[in-house]
């Protein structure tokens, strides 16, 4: 039965939860499909995550491999294919607890970087799992800066082979997923040398383990990199190569080839490589950042509607913690952020699809904009979502700290998204470089891409708001965000120019501006997010109640951003101190309004209890009962610890002097 | 051998590292003593933490019990006692990996809340480990709000016993350390009923496990609460009581007693209870928050001096990541914060000692101030240190995410300090209540305690700084912090009064101001921290170089606080936009200055490699070699996973259709 404290929250929803769910999914059919996939996966006991929080790294890995293999069977059974409409829901349904994700990256690399012959040879083997692939790029000593990779591949013209080596310890491949224990093959990125000349980084297919008995191939040293903050289910690995020879045909050669005599030929454009990174960054935003934040909000908000602590009014029952302003101020902005980013994800997908169509027509003009936006949003979304999950965790007090709440795992996993696929600070600086370039171009009247067109149309003046209600006008706050973005970009551009003119070298000047460049890039993404949210809200039609609550959330997201970054709005007086007090007042008012719909708003994310895997977040709100039941399953309760016989009993039964 | 990239950082130190170390320790003798204790512990293989990152919860618990028992032996051997000068260094030396901390809380409770007879009976038993104690206060449904605890203790006048019960599941004791598997006895806090009348929360000594075979006593259900984000070495437990009877003498009765006929007698003052909480909060700040931040800084800064990535200048060697402004801006403010809080810890200790002397003279006047300061600083210090450790972790990129870096464990442990011993938001609101009270008192001319005397001496006017160098004057920035604290406290007090005068009930009005009250409390603590740091720096004499570098750190801490909270300084124009640009300029300049001494500044914390337990943070900077060596010890590399035989082999050897 549902805890009455949670049931009552659902009775007063100002909108239809089901309608909001289908709207978020993109239609009734999508919702049906998603639920069908999730149900099929969750009904299958093989995929159960019931014991996940009690498992060792070894057990997690074994389960992930089991899931990956079983998923192939399941897909056959269900008639799902990798290109089918169900596929995108599978990862959500297994909650990421699955191996062979890098096998897929292996296949993608071969498809994109390999010649037709190479694709014809390797893709059928890989898709039939006659090999298990991985992707070995990162080294112990090099991550983001690919040019610095130290692994070498020397062409031996006499045998028509490449000889791969790990010349020093920092050149060891380190981190590649699926490589520590599973992979039989991997794509190794190495510095190519032909006749003593260096040609830069190239990809080579290398077999690392025997297809017969999985033993390591000659010259290969490989293993697991050991325990991590999370991702225990993935065998991130290391790889050392000692005179490993691969045939000439194993260099992926769609864009460049070493001919039998050692002649190096480059063909086609490598620009498309940026597009791969762009695609990966955009695709991870939803599953690795926004969904975890939505889950964390669901858990924390349901728990806060059930947890009672202390009294708001003397003589009354203890209050739900969700009724405290401080608790609302922790959780509700995170909820609004989850919605805001859900819409940004749509925005980026659309931009990406449009760009992709252009690229297919060999038009690469949109690449810089796409690269800049995907980099900046990857950084901003993962950063906001990570800190949002942390806030949710801490807002649940002690119980949030128990693994059984589900929150620690969400946090320890999402924090990695700030680092992988491009460290966030580096990414923001790439966005900043694009912004500065566009700003300079616009100031000399050159055309600039649509997403930054606002840089050319700077309006003078201050914020026109006269009372707190004015700050609920999207025009008012969107323009404030725009103003700040323009100001930070233009002032940093000016500082950069001043430094250069005063004689500082270009690279030093850039380095001396990077803290402010990062701020500027963030402000740009923040502005786009607010603007996009406001536009979405403006377009919602008819759906009873949904428009209204989305408007509240959009307002909250925008005002929260101002409230928590007051300085950048106050700096040049665009918003005055008195106006900032109005922002604060409207912001705090909104908390009380949205609080009423908080539970329906997380219900609309439509997570099953199994997918949340949280004793605090279940739909029925029976948190204490579930914490108790789950704790009893812990291995720490399975038997008396050997510590009793070894240490406690001797201690208790003897005098201390006998120790 | 030391990595040359790290060695060179030490050659250019602007001060004597050894002199700074002894100054931080409080003298040469303290340093000698600390090193002796650490060495004795670390040389003993029983205390080795070599395998910590590979251990299961069960193994961690067993190791912690082993360490606790072995420590008794060690202390005998070394002639150390619990009251000796060595004792405070032991916890640092074992890095917290030890059981029976709650046994000590059990003893403290008996000493403080028990009568002379009770002390005489229980303390010898406990100190001889003829029982293992715990402290059962928190319940599944109640943490911070003690009055809400639901466990009952009913006095049975016929048998002269208390009958203890857990009336519902939310009343189950949950979280107490050492209780899940170790304790034989515990202090249970329960609602006392005599002749049907309720007398509130009282402490009772209850035996929960047999002293003979450790089996649970009749009526007792107890166990471990399962996996947590960290503290796997501690057996946090649950406890359910069903008609458990304890003799009348087991209620700790120094302050109140139930007489044989059921008459309830209260004696003495219970105010002293606040003093215990105050003492615990102050004592945890150093070991649980500041030391972990110092460790995280040591690891991240040494690693950043060794890690090279990308080029700052074309044609040159790849740059140390510590040379990037963005990396400096992440790490150096954390370093300054660690120093700032080291001095605040001294400040609070001194305040506490002074208060304690007064209390021994039965003067309780300083209690409210002490309570407010200890609450606020517990919250602010744990919050800053937690986010500092997270920044250090993320600043180390992928390798920071490996458990072998030591950073994930520091983070997952320190984050708990924001929750335990009073959830931070609640604590800040207690500080705020005190501040508002003092502000109101001062405005009617009443005397207020010294730490808040500044509230009565508000000076009008704006920040007088004219150029960026002016912001390196402690008077300038200290006054800015003071101004902000006064403004936030007074404006929130005004809002509170306005609400009440407009007819809002007092409790509702308070709730509607809590977001701002929390801000005000933080601003107060921030101000005191800056002021205290500046005063310490002002008093440093003669020590060559130390005064200068401490001045830089103090400036950095102060300007970092302004730079990252610009809004509160700009709000009323106390600092103008143009002045804020000067702050930014001075702040960024300082980063480049302090960067030169960054490694010596962390070396001065004097952590041994064993205490850091980090592949990235060792003194010799051989990070890649060590990551590789440590990873090979991981259980994931001990044998081929069963996953191969069960799933991978069948997959690779069969066609997919046979699945």
Who among A324, A511, A565 is closest to B514 (CB)? A324
Report chain A's mean pLDDT, rounded to a whole number: 95
Instruction: Evaluate if residue A306 carries a pLDDT over 60.
Output: yes
Q: Which of A332, A379, A317 is nearest to A563 (CA)?
A: A332
Strands B197-207 and B185-194: antiparallel
Give dist(CA B321, CA B301) in Å, integer: 10
Please list every residue in chain A whose beta carbon sits closer than 8 Å to the beta carbon of residue B61: 636, 641, 643
Cβ of residue B573 closer than 8 Å to a chain A Cβ: yes
pLDDT value, residue A658: 47
Cβ of residue A401 closer than 8 Å to a chain B Cβ: yes
Instruction: Evaluate if residue A636 carries a pLDDT over 70.
Output: yes
A vs B: CB pairs below 8 A = 373
Tokens, residue B10: 């030490």
Q: Between chains, do B309 and A144 touch, taking CB under 8 Å as contact?
A: yes
Please list every residue in chain B whose beta carbon sits closer than 8 Å to the beta carbon of residue A300: none
Cα dihedral sign, A298-A301-A303-A306: negative
Nearest Cα residue in chain B from A63 = B643
Who among A58, A225, A650 is closest to B402 (CB)? A225
Q: Between chains, do A659 and B565 touch, taking CB under 8 Å as contact?
A: no
Tokens, residue B381: 């210090």
pLDDT value, residue B270: 67
Tokens, residue B412: 């997952």
Instruction: Evaluate if residue A655 carries a pLDDT over 80.
Output: no
Q: Between chains, do B140 and A624 touch, taking CB under 8 Å as contact?
A: yes
Section A469-485 average pLDDT? 98
Section A274-303 average pLDDT? 93
Give dist(CA B107, CA B82) in Å, integer: 13
CB atoms within 10 A of CB B620: 15
Q: Which of A427, A426, A342 is nearest to A376 (CA)?
A: A427
Count how many residues are written for chain B: 659
Domains recognised in chain B with CATH numbers: 17-96+275-424 (1.20.140.10), 133-267 (2.40.110.10), 447-605 (1.20.140.10)
Q: What is the dihedral of CA B250, B253, B259, B262, to 10 degrees?
A: -80
Nearest Cα residue in chain B from A170 = B624
Q: Which of A89, A536, A615, A570 is nearest to A336 (CA)?
A: A536
CB of A46 closer than 8 Å to CB of A98: no
pLDDT value, residue B658: 47
pLDDT value, residue B655: 56
Q: Which parts of B are annotated binding residues for FAD? A: 138, 177
Of residues A143 and B559, more confidence is placed in B559
Give dist(CA B599, CA A94) in Å, integer: 45
Q: Provide the annotated active-site residues of A.
A: 421
Show Cβ contacts of residue A586 under 8 Å, excluding neighbours closer than 6 positions: A468, A469, A471, A472, A555, A559
Q: Is A422 annotated as a binding residue?
A: no
Partner residues linked to B154 by β-bridges: B163, B193
Give per-residue pLDDT as tens, A586-600.
999 999 999 999 999
Task: Say if residue A616 is exposed, middle or buried (CB neighbours under 10 Å; 0-12, 13-18, 19+).
Answer: buried
Instruction: Evaluate if residue A659 carries a pLDDT over 50.
Output: no
Tokens, residue A10: 């659902």
Q: Between chains, do A647 and B505 touch, taking CB under 8 Å as contact?
A: no
Lowest mean pLDDT among A351-360, A505-514, B159-168: A351-360
Give dist(CA B388, CA B337) in Å, integer: 8
Mark B282-312 as b/e (b = at least 16 C-beta within 10 Å): bbbbbbbbbbbbbbbbbbbbbbbbbbbbbeb
Q: Which of A217, A82, A73, A202 is nearest to A147 (CA)?
A: A202
Instruction: Evaluate if residue A77 carries a pLDDT over 50.
Output: yes
Alpha carbon A279 to its chain's center: 13
Give per-residue pLDDT as tens, A318-330.
999 999 999 999 9
Give dist(CA B162, CA B591) in Å, integer: 63
Confidence of residue A259 (pLDDT cuts 50, 70, 90): very high
Q: Between chains, do A313 and B416 touch, taking CB under 8 Å as contact?
A: no
Cβ of residue A505 closer than 8 Å to a chain B Cβ: yes
Confidence of residue A270 (pLDDT cuts 50, 70, 90): low
SS3 category, B224: strand
Cβ of residue B78 closer than 8 Å to a chain A Cβ: no
Count how many residues are written for chain A: 659
Q: Between chains, do A401 and B415 touch, taking CB under 8 Å as contact?
A: yes
Q: Is A278 annotated as a binding residue?
A: no
Q: Which residues of chain B have pLDDT under 50?
A: 656-659
Helices (H), B151-221: none
Please list every residue in chain B whose beta carbon sits closer than 8 Å to the beta carbon of residue A496: none
- ipTM greater than 0.90: yes
Q: Between chains, do B588 and A227 touch, taking CB under 8 Å as contact?
A: no
Q: What is the dihedral of CA A580, A582, A583, A585, to 10 degrees?
A: 130
């Amino acid at each position: 039965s549902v805890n009455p404290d949670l049931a009552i929250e659902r009775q007063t929803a100002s909108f239809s939860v089901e309608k909001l769910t289908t709207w978020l999914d993109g239609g009734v059919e999508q919702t049906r499909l998603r639920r069908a996939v999730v149900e099929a996966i969750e009904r299958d006991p093989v995929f159960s995550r019931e014991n996940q929080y009690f498992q060792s790294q070894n057990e997690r890995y074994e389960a992930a491999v089991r899931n990956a293999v079983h998923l192939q069977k399941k897909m056959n059974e269900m008639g799902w294919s990798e290109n089918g409409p169900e596929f995108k829901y599978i990862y959500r349904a297994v909650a990421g607890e699955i191996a062979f994700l890098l096998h897929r990256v292996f296949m993608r690399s071969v498809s994109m970087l390999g010649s037709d012959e190479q694709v014809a040879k390797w893709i059928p083997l890989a898709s039939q799992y006659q090999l298990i692939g991985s992707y070995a790029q990162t080294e112990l000593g090099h991550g983001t800066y690919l040019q610095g990779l130290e692994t070498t591949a020397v062409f031996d013209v006499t045998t028509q082979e490449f000889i791969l080596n790990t010349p020093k310890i920092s050149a060891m491949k380190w981190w590649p997923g699926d490589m520590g224990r599973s992979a039989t093959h991997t794509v190794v990125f190495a510095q190519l040398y032909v006749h003593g000349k260096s040609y830069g980084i190239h990809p080579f297919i290398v077999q690392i383990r025997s297809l017969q008995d999985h033993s390591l191939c000659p010259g290969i040293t490989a293993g697991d990199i050991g325990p991590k903050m999370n991702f225990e289910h993935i065998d991130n690995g290391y790889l050392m190569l000692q005179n490993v020879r691969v045939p000439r045909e194993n260099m992926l050669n769609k864009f460049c080839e070493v001919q039998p005599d050692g002649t190096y030929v480059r063909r086609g454009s490598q620009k498309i490589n940026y597009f791969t990174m762009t695609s990966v960054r955009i695709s991870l935003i939803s599953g690795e950042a926004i969904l975890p934040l939505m889950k964390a909000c669901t858990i924390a908000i349901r728990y806060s509607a059930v947890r009672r602590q202390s009294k708001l009014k003397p003589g009354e029952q203890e209050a739900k913690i969700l009724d405290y302003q401080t608790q609302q101020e922790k959780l509700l902005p995170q909820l609004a952020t989850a919605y805001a980013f859900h819409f940004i994800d749509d925005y980026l997908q659309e931009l990406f699809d449009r760009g992709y169509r252009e690229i297919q027509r060999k038009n690469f003009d949109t690449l810089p904009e796409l690269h800049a936006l995907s980099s900046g949003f990857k950084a901003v979304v993962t950063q906001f979502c990570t800190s949002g999950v942390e806030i949710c965790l801490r807002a649940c007090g002690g119980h949030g700290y128990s693994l059984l709440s589900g929150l620690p795992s969400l946090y320890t996993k999402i924090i990695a998204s700030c680092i992988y696929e491009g460290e966030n600070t580096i990414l923001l600086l790439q966005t900043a470089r694009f912004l500065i370039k566009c700003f300079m171009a616009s100031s000399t009247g050159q055309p600039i891409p649509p997403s930054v067109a606002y840089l050319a149309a700077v309006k003078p003046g201050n914020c026109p708001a006269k009372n707190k209600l004015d700050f609920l006008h999207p025009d008012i706050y969107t323009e404030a965000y725009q103003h700040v973005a323009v100001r930070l970009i233009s002032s940093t551009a000016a500082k950069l120019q001043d430094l250069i003119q005063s004689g500082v070298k270009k690279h030093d000047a850039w380095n001396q501006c990077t803290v402010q460049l990062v701020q500027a890039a963030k402000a740009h993404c923040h502005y786009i997010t607010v603007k996009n949210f406001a536009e979405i809200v403006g377009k919602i039609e008819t759906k009873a109640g949904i428009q209204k609550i989305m408007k509240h959330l959009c307002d909250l997201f925008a005002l929260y951003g101002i409230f928590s970054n007051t300085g950048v709005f106050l700096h040049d007086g665009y918003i005055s101190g008195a106006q900032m007090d109005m922002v604060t007042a409207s912001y705090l008012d909104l908390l009380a309004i949205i609080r009423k719909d908080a539970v329906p708003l997380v219900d609309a994310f439509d997570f099953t209890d199994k997918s949340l895997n949280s004793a605090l977040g279940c739909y029925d709100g029976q948190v204490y009962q579930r914490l108790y039941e789950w704790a009893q399953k812990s291995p720490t309760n399975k038997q008396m610890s050997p510590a009793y016989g070894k240490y406690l009993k001797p201690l208790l039964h003897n005098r201390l002097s006998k120790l």
